[in-house]
Amino acid sequence: MSPVTAEDVARARAAIGDVARHTPVLPSATLSERAGGANVLLKAESLQRTGSFKIRGALNKLASVGDACSRGVVAGSAGNHAQALAFAAQARGVPCEVFMPAEASIGKAEAAQALGATVRLAGAAVDDCVSAARERAAETGMVFVHPFDDPDVVAGQGTLGLELLEDVPDLAKVIVPIGGGGLASGVAIAIKSARPGIEVVGVQAETVAPFPASLQAGEPLEAPQALTIADGIAVKRPGKLTLALVKEWVDDVVVVAEDDVAEAMVMLLEKAKLVVEGAGAVGVAALLAGATRAATDGATVVVLSGGNVDAGLLATVARRHETLVGRRIVVLTRVPDRPGALAGLLDCVADAGANMVEVSHLREGVDLHVRETAVQLVMETRGKDHAAEVLDAIARGGYVAGIIRG
């Protein structure tokens, strides 16, 4: 028998239902259309309390240990698991300590503190924090809560699958992010126990994607540490339990490129009006990039597993997209070094309808005549066609110009 069963998930639902939200499933016209008329829906788990699915597993773990956690719970995490455990512990009235990497964002540390957790900084990597948390649990009698490799946590995450079974009668396929594998295996167990014909596909970010090789080897293999925009699923090594469960229950695991994740985040912002973190957007990236396909018969649900991303990263991702689609271009040109020359250039640009964001003079390191100045213009345009018109207008004005980015 599987170490986590549909009955475990059903029990978890009863244990967490008063605190965890039943998050909405939203239609996506854009993804449905791009998938050639399939029916693609989004499970907006980004709207869950604490901004991710992790609250489900944390609450179930607390329910499962019962009075044994009266001394408190402890975990090591850089983000979502820490916030979720802090929230769950507060809801159940038990103390909570989280070990976070020294360079974790102050925002995340503050969020855990605001939820009543004691935050301790430990080492540089998440692994060091997990070790520190285990030691602390051994010393104090607090209960250590693993972010994924724990049957109670897996069963808790599986409750998301039960909601899909209820909300989407013609469910045919589920696409779900994989980091440690707790969510993917829990959801697959819940769904395929009830309706084995539904396909469940996991998605990893290719920068840190140990699952495909580990599944093939039949044991957890470690991927090198790396920076990824999907930091919430940057887990170097699958759990022993979760690898076995993913092997048993999940149909396939695919990988997506960093750029596709960034574009998926922007598509979700612009079209679905949802803020989704990189880790939460890999499923959409997989559909858009063709790493997996929507079901032709019945509904495909993409799980948006979390939305914890700060305004700075959102701004960076959005700007990058503006440049990609030609709505922001950087142009290098040159003007004679005399009064009025720059004004003439800017008139050209204004007449062409571009919005000037930044003008800078470059006098050094550029091959120029003595009486010339190089000028770099950063402009907003209405898209690639308009950008081309703006460049034409500059050329017609007698300026030699080239696009640097855009």
At residue 338, what are phi and psi to the nearest 5 degrees? -145, 160
Closer of 61 and 328 to a second copy (Cβ): 328
Closer of 213 and 325 to a second copy (Cβ): 325
1 binds a second copy (CB under 8 A): no
Q: Please answer whether residues 272 and 42 qualify as being in contact, where contact means their C-beta atoms are separated by less than 8 angstroms.
A: yes
Select from 200-208, 284-292, 304-312, 334-342 the region that touches a second copy (CB under 8 A). Answer: 304-312
- The first and second tokens of residue 285, run together, are 């990236």
Three-state helix/strand/coil letters over 245-262: HHHHHCCEEEEECHHHHH
**Pattern 21-50, a second copy, x by CB under 8 A:** x--x-xx-x----------------xx-x-
Closer of 146 and 327 to a second copy (Cβ): 327
353 binds a second copy (CB under 8 A): yes
Select from 60-68, 73-81, 244-252, 273-281 the region that touches a second copy (CB under 8 A). Answer: 273-281
Closest approach, Cβ 110 to a second copy, in A, equals 8
307 binds a second copy (CB under 8 A): yes
At residue 297, what are phi and psi to the nearest 5 degrees? -125, 110
- The first and second tokens of residue 232, run together, are 């919430």
**Terminal C-alpha separation, the chain:** 56
Closer of 24 and 290 to a second copy (Cβ): 24
CB atoms within 10 A of CB 112: 27
Q: Which residues partner with 362 through β-bridges?
A: 374
Q: Going by C-beta distance under 8 Å and a sequence separation of 6 or more, which residues neighbour residue 240?
A: 149, 220
Closest approach, Cβ 214 to a second copy, in A, equals 31
Chain-centre distance of CA 378, in angstroms? Answer: 30
**Pattern 171-210, a second copy, x by CB under 8 A:** ----------------------------------------
Q: Which residues of 323-358 are buried (b: 16+ CB within 10 A; e: fewer)?
A: ebebbbbbbebbbeeeeebbeebbebbeebebeeee
DSSP states of 1-45 as a string?
--SS-HHHHHHHHHHHTTTS--PPEEE-HHHHHHTTS-EEEEEEG
Chain-centre distance of CA 328, in angstroms? Answer: 25
Answer yes or no: 54 catalytic: yes
19 binds a second copy (CB under 8 A): no
Closer of 258 and 380 to a second copy (Cβ): 380
Alpha-carbon span 280 to 282, nearest angstrom: 6
398 binds a second copy (CB under 8 A): no
382 binds a second copy (CB under 8 A): yes
Q: Please answer whether residues 343 and 356 qualify as being in contact, where contact means their C-beta atoms are separated by less than 8 angstroms.
A: no
322 binds a second copy (CB under 8 A): yes
Active-site residue, selected from the candidate residues 54, 61, 108, 192: 54
Closest approach, Cβ 48 to a second copy, in A, equals 9
Closer of 27 and 218 to a second copy (Cβ): 27
Enclosing H/E stretch for 193 = helix 182-194
Answer yes or no: 173 catalytic: no
Closer of 177 and 220 to a second copy (Cβ): 177
Applying the rule CB under 8 A, the residues between 98 and 117 that interact with a second copy are 103, 105-107
Dihedral angle computed from the Cα positions of residues 309, 313, 315 and 321, in that order, rounded to the nearest 10 degrees: -100
Closer of 103 and 347 to a second copy (Cβ): 103
Select from 54-62, 174-182, 268-276, 329-337 the region that touches a second copy (CB under 8 A). Answer: 268-276
318 binds a second copy (CB under 8 A): yes
Alpha-carbon span 385 to 364, nearest angstrom: 32
Q: Which of 315, 356, 395, 400 binds a second copy (CB under 8 A)?
A: 315
Contacting residues toward a second copy, per CB under 8 A? 21, 24, 26-27, 29, 46-47, 49, 51, 103, 105-107, 266, 269-270, 272-276, 307, 310-312, 314-316, 318-319, 321-322, 327-328, 353, 380, 382-383, 385-386
- Residues annotated as part of the active site: 54, 305
